[in-house]
Each structure stands twice: as structure tokens, then as C-alpha cells.
Amino acid sequence: MTELDSLSKEELATRIVELEQTVTALTERIGDLEKENEALRSQLPGAGNALPPFVKPNRKERRAEERAERKKRKKSFGRRLEDPTEEIRHYVEVCPDCGHKLSGGWEHRRHQVIEIPQLPIRVIDHILMGRRCGYCGKVHIPKLTVADGVIGKHRVGIRLMSLITTLSVASRIPQRIIVELLHGLYGVHISVGEISEILHKVAACGKREADRLLEEIRGSPLVNGDETGWREDGVNGYLWNFSTPSVRYYRRDQSRAGKVAKDILTEKFEGTLGCDFYCGYNWYAGPKQRCWVHYKRDLKDLREKYASDPGVTRWVDSILLVYKAAKKAAKREYSEKERHQIARMFEDRLLLLAEPYVKKKDSPQNTLAKRIEQFNGEMFTFVRYPGVPSGNNAAERAIRPAVTARKVSGGTRSKKGSETKSVLMTLFGTWGLRKLAPLDACTGMLIASQSQV
């Protein structure tokens, strides 16, 4: 018998009323919680969208009549064959039908297979033999040099040292994975600590080359600069990058102040500096090109935020029309004097669009209008000087590998580690721009550095 069975009809009726009141109260509470939850959701970025704001929407499916007809190839293309290093001929020795022995034959077809050799790693014992001169009695012992494939007291040869550095810097493979990779491929065990020492040694050998590349940066007619966060031993800092079409230079510093960029470029730099709108580049008195890619991105965000405001939309479109006209003008042939006049015309036109909103703090255009007023003389440098890009993409592309590496490693653990990372990224970044094979370039750099000692 349950508790309810022992209750009278009056007690059961009372219990039912109490439970109904409880259910009503809980239902009201659930409704209140749902409203609060909906209010919190509406405050999140990208609220109301099915996808988060960082996810690109799916491409709209095109109808069959809208699809462009595929161009017919003039000739068919197959997989490119490599130059064979060996040939293996295959024969059927006996006729499978009658058992008669077969002989002779002709080439029916070929099937090419690319395979890696299973070679043991070379472990070389360099035995230094001493000899005594029978005339003067002096003992002579040879010294190991880079010609012998030896660098300092390292037990790792130049080629393997270059491979480890290439995997770490160019391929951005974590050191523990490199340990497993070398053990799996060659059966050799190199510890994580030894890999770190190898990287330090390669960076020390490449320091002179990195300094020479910095001098190339300072003497270049066009340099693009950018910076990103880089932690050192858990402390926030910044990785600076300055790039030209053929050189990339990196340096890590605790500060993001303009003094760092000034110390890197120094007074030797007299070219055009491409950068974003960060004030850390304001110290440079020479020609600067502020990044239109950044500015267009902000214009797009402004238009999306105030899509229902026709005044904002018209203002954004007017700014973009000026930029498009400037891009067309920059491609045409003009004299130096004419280019300066045309650039000044675009500056006046842009300033005319910005002036009505500069002092209106409550207007949506205020922030971007004030940016035009502040940097107006540095937004059409690409019109004045041929070959100057309107955006800062060179520096953006150069800094992207560092951002990827930072997500993998989280930064560096010491000042020495930061210096090593900066030098190696400078070398490998430059070799990548110059289309050089990083493994061969690193090997050549190590040989050259030891030959200069």
C-alpha cells in the first residue's frame, strides 16, 4: 500500500490542488527563463543568424542556364612522367593456357611508380690521426671543417641539421613530431632539447645573412610593415615584420611603440612605407601609403551595420568610387608632375566627402571620416609613385605564417628563443619569396657561414 492509498478523498483533493499550483508556478518560471535566455542570445555577435559571423555562407546554387560552358581543351593532359632511375621488366614465363614456355616479347605499356628508398642513416666516425714530424718533433692533428660536414661540436651533420630546421620553420612541424618523424624514417633518435640547440646554432650561423637582408630592407624603395602579437615566456610582446618583393625581415620586441620600427628601418630608409593606420608608423616623415584594404573592410562593416540607412550607404559608395577612379588613374601613363596633381585632386575629393561628418560625433561616418582627415595625404601615394600598391598585402602575407606558428607553439620561452625564431623566419621567408628550395638554401647558408669563420 502506497502513501496515496491511505489518504482520504478530502486529503487527495487538497494534494491535487497543491500539485496544480506547483505546476503552474514552474510553468511560469520556465517561461521567464526562456525569455531571459532569448534576451541573452540577442546580445551575442551574429545573433539571428543560423551560422556564427566567422563562418562563410554557402555559395548559391546556380541554375543550369547560368553556368558558363566549359572551355574545350586544345589537347588532353595526363600526369607528367618523371625521369626513371631504374627499369624492371615483367614477363609471363609460361603460357597459362597450354603451358608452352614463352620467349622474346615487346613493350606493351608502362606503369610508373615513385618510391622512396629505404636507406640507413649514415653514422660517420671522424677519426683524427696524430702525426709527429721526424725533423722538428712537433705533433700535428687535423681539424674538422665544414668540408667534412661538421659544424662545431654537434653530432648532427649539415644536411640533417638543415632538414630539421626546414621541418621546424618552413613546414611549422612541432619538435616532438620531428623526433617521431626522424625515428620513423631513419631510425635515429634526436631529442627535443637537441633539436632546440640545432635551431639556435643554425640561427647563429644565419645571423650575418639576416643582418645583410636588413640592410637590403633599409635600402629598398618600397617597404611594407606590419606587426602581430607574440608571447615570450608567457609575457605578451610583438613580432614586427618589414617586407619587400624579395626580402622578409622579422624581429620580436616587447613593445609595439613606433620606436621599434624606427630602430629597425633607421634613417637609412628613404623609400615609401606601406602600412595600416596604426600610429606606430607616424614617425616616418617620408612617403607612406596607408592600406586601402583595411579601410575598405571598415567601410564594408559600416555599410552592413547601417544597411537600413541610405545616407551611410551612399557615403560608403561615394568613397569607393573615388578609390576605384584612383586605381584606374594609377595604371595610366602620366608625368611625375601630373601624377602629383591627380593625387591631390583625389585627396581633395575624399576630404570633401569626409568634412561634413568629422565634427558630428553622433554620426555613423564620424570615425572613418576622421581617419580620412588625419591620413588624407597618405592614402593616394600609390597614384603619385608607380609601382606602389594601394594595400599592405605584402606585409599581411608575410605575417600570416607567424600567426600560424604562434597558434601551434604559443610563442617562445626565452629571449634567445625569440631571436632564433626571428632570424630563421627572416631567412626562410626570404628564400620562399625568391623561390629557393629551403633545404638546399639552408645547407648552402651553413656552408658559407662556416667558410667565413
* Residue 303 domain flag: yes
List the single range of 17-26, 157-166, 219-228, 364-373 with lowest mean pLDDT.
17-26
pTM to 2 decimals?
0.77
> In angstroms, how far is CA 140 from the centroid of its own chain?
52
* Residue 169 domain flag: no
Q: Are strands 288-290 and 272-275 parallel, antiparallel or unpaired?
A: parallel
pLDDT surpassing 60 at residue 114: yes
Q: pLDDT tens digits for 360-388?
A: 889 999 999 999 999 999 999 999 999 99
* Residue 122 domain flag: no
pLDDT surpassing 90 at residue 301: yes
C-alpha cell at 380: 593616394
Q: pLDDT tens digits for 165-183?
A: 999 999 999 999 999 999 9
> In angstroms, how far is CA 176 from the centroid of its own chain?
22
* Residue 218 domain flag: no
* Residue 304 domain flag: yes
Please give the mean pLDDT across all residues of the chain.
89
Mean pLDDT value across residues 290-297: 95
Q: Are 100 and 167 in contact (CB under 8 A)?
A: no
User: Looking at residue 449, what is its pLDDT?
Assistant: 87
- What is the dihedral angle through the alpha carbons of 278, 281, 287, 289, rounded to the nearest 10 degrees? -30
Residue 388's nearest CA partner among 441, 445, 326 is: 326
Q: pLDDT tens digits for 48-72?
A: 555 666 677 777 776 666 666 777 7
pLDDT surpassing 90 at residue 6: no
Greater model confidence, 146 or 160: 160
Handedness of CA 176, 182, 183, 184 (dihedral sign): positive
Handedness of CA 323, 325, 330, 335 (dihedral sign): negative
Alpha helices in 119-191 (DSSP H): 158-169, 175-186
Total domains in the chain come to 1
Q: Are strands 238-243 and 139-140 parallel, antiparallel or unpaired?
A: unpaired
For residue 311, the enclosing domain spans 292-384
* Residue 123 domain flag: no
C-alpha cell at 119: 636507406
* Percent of the chain residues past pLDDT 90, beyond the cut: 66
How many other CB atoms are there within 10 angstroms of residue 263's CB atom?
12
* Residue 370 domain flag: yes
* Residue 378 domain flag: yes
Rounded distance, CA 450 to CA 14, Å? Answer: 97
pLDDT surpassing 70 at residue 7: no
Amino acid at 255: S
